[in-house]
Amino acid sequence: MPTDLWRFAEALYQRPGVEAACLLLQAQGADVCLLLCAAWLKTRKITCNDERVTTLKNLAQPWQQQVVVPLRQLRQSWREQAQSDNALRQLREQIKQLELKAEREQLERLAACTQDWSDSAADAPLDWLERLAPQPGNRDALQTLRIAAAHLSA
């Protein structure tokens, strides 16, 4: 199992069903970087509590809203037109790469924030994915993430 968050996120995203689950949750308002971090924390048996959930949300939200989402919206707004405009298609690909770099930066910030958090001897009563998913979260999509993350940590 990858120990750093970025490698874990890459490996998890490649698992069957995870990309579709993430896109569904993203369409429902989820911050996929937060959910990938949640799955990572769960596999590392890091204790989930209200203070930590709030810390992660407060760290992620401004970056997600001010950097990642505007890049994604711009890229998505060019989708149809880029099919017939080569120059725009190339610019759209550059925006996609910037969006990916912004997501990687967000994951690195989340990982740095959690580096001193202790693990627990037993599973904590609070579930990272449930706590960081939009309410109400899609249970099937969250379960797909749980199962895929468990396979990575096995």
Cα dihedral 93→98→101→105 (10° resolution): -160
The rounded distance, in Å, linking the Cα atoms of 100 and 143 is 24
- Give pLDDT, residue 136: 67
Task: Tell me the pLDDT tens digit for each residue of 121-139.
Answer: 555 566 899 889 887 668 8
Per-residue pLDDT tens listing for the chain (154 residues): 456 999 999 999 999 999 999 999 999 999 999 999 999 999 988 999 999 999 999 999 999 999 999 999 999 999 999 999 999 999 999 999 999 999 999 999 999 999 999 876 555 566 899 889 887 668 899 999 999 999 987 7
Q: What share of the chain is helix, strand, coil (3-state, %, to 5)?
A: 75, 0, 25
CA contacts within 13 A on the Cβ side of 20? 6
